Structure formats: structure tokens, C-alpha cells
Amino acid sequence: MAQESSRMRRPRADGERNRVRLIEAAKHAFAEKGAAVSLEHIAREADVSIATLYRHFPTRDELISAVYQQEVTALIESADQLMTDREPAAALREWLMLFVEFLDAKHGMAEAMDTLIGGPEPLYSRTPQRLDMPVKALVARGVATGVFRDDFEPHDLLRALSGVAHVRPYENWKWSAGQMVDILLKGMQSRPPSGGTGIH
């Protein structure tokens, strides 16, 4: 059996140093060249061998997750905050706008969203999809109070926005994304008392 916690060796300093350097290099590389940037390039940039990169991050996804862990955590925390401070619809709206900000800040990372919100390859993306929780909770609250319909998948809000984010090159993509948030929120309202939209 492996040693228990008390008897464990302290992690080596060089290992931790290199881990940090890799994350830093990856953050720059992702921002500059997109999520598909070569891992060897990242390793070179971090002044570390390619084998070391693989030792720390066996898959590309794990590196991506590590790079954005901080931002994702912040996003999750602001969801908690908004849920206590705002009404369901306003909370979700603001949170989705934060998500858009996040997408905006990560220039060229739209493709990597697969990693963070769940993408096409179930085996490729095994990292826990941490953004699943907050969006689900935000929506559930609105469903509970009857302002949101419940016949849709909360996750798809993120996927839709991430789809819109693919248009980054255009100058006004962020405006577009903001409008999309508005459309989504309007569209997911449960029918107003006056009458249904009737379109079927």
C-alpha cells in the first residue's frame, strides 16, 4: 500500500515549478493561437520537454481545464452569489452575460468549450464539466417559481452561446451574443397569462 498522508514525501519543487510554467505558457498559446495549438509548441514556450508536458497533463483536455480552472471557479461562485441576490430571470441573465464575457476573454477558445461544457466526444472529454452545475441550478430556480418552462436542457443554453461565439472574427460578435442571451431568456419563459404563442 502507498504511504498514508502523514508519511508522504513533499512534492518536488521542480515539478511544481514546471507545472506552473506549463499552465502559463498554455494560457498564452491558447489566447494567441487557439485551442488547437500544438502541445510541442507549448512545451517549447515553457522551456520544458514534451515528455514533461505529457507527464503533467496526459491529455489536452486536462491542460485546458487547468488553464481555465480559475475562471471557471469564479463563474461558479458568481452563480451562487447571483442566486441569493437576484430573482431567477435576472440571475440567469446576468450569469449568461458573464459566460459571454468569459468566452470573449478567451479569444480563440471557442473550440475548447467542448472541454468545459461537454463536447462531441464523450471519451475525449472526461474532465468533469463543472459548468453543468451552476446553469442547472439557475434554471431550476426559475422553473420552481414558474417563470421558466421546464421542457428543455439547461446545458443547451451554454452550447448555443458557445455556437454563437464561433463568430469571434466579426467585430460585433459580443453584441450578437448579448442579443442571443436576450432571445434565449425570452424564449424560455413559461407562457405569459395572456395567451400562448400558438405557433406549433
Give the footprint of DNA on this chain (CB under 7 A).
Answer: 7-15, 18, 38-41, 48-52, 54-56, 58-60
Rounded Cα distance between 155 and 111, Å, is: 16
Q: Which one among 49, 74, 81, 90 touches a second copy, defined by CB under 8 A?
A: 90
What's the min distance (Å) between Cβ of 39 and a second copy?
16
Number of residues near a second copy (by CB under 8 A): 49
Q: Which residues inside 29-88 make contact with a second copy, applying CB under 8 A?
A: 34
Nearer to DNA, 60 or 93 (CB): 60
Rounded Cα distance between 167 and 189, Å, is: 27
Applying CB under 8 A, which part among 2-10, 41-49, 131-139, 173-181 lies near a second copy? Answer: 173-181
DSSP character string of 166-196? GGTTSTTHHHHHHHHHHHHHHHTBPPPTT--
Cβ-contact 133, 77 below 8 angstroms = no
What's the min distance (Å) between Cβ of 110 and DNA?
18
Residue 128 found at the interface with a second copy (CB under 8 A): no
Q: Which one among 5, 6, 84, 197 touches a second copy, defined by CB under 8 A?
A: 197
Rounded Cα distance between 121 and 98, Å, is: 26
The Cβ-side half-sphere exposure at 107, using a 13 Å CA radius, reads 8
Cβ-contact 166, 127 below 8 angstroms = no
What is the Cα 70 distance to its own chain's centre?
11
Q: Which one among 111, 127, 136, 137 touches a second copy, defined by CB under 8 A?
A: 111
Site of interaction with a second copy (CB under 8 A): 34, 89-90, 93, 108, 110-111, 114, 118-122, 151-153, 155-156, 159-164, 166-169, 172, 176, 179-180, 182-189, 192-200
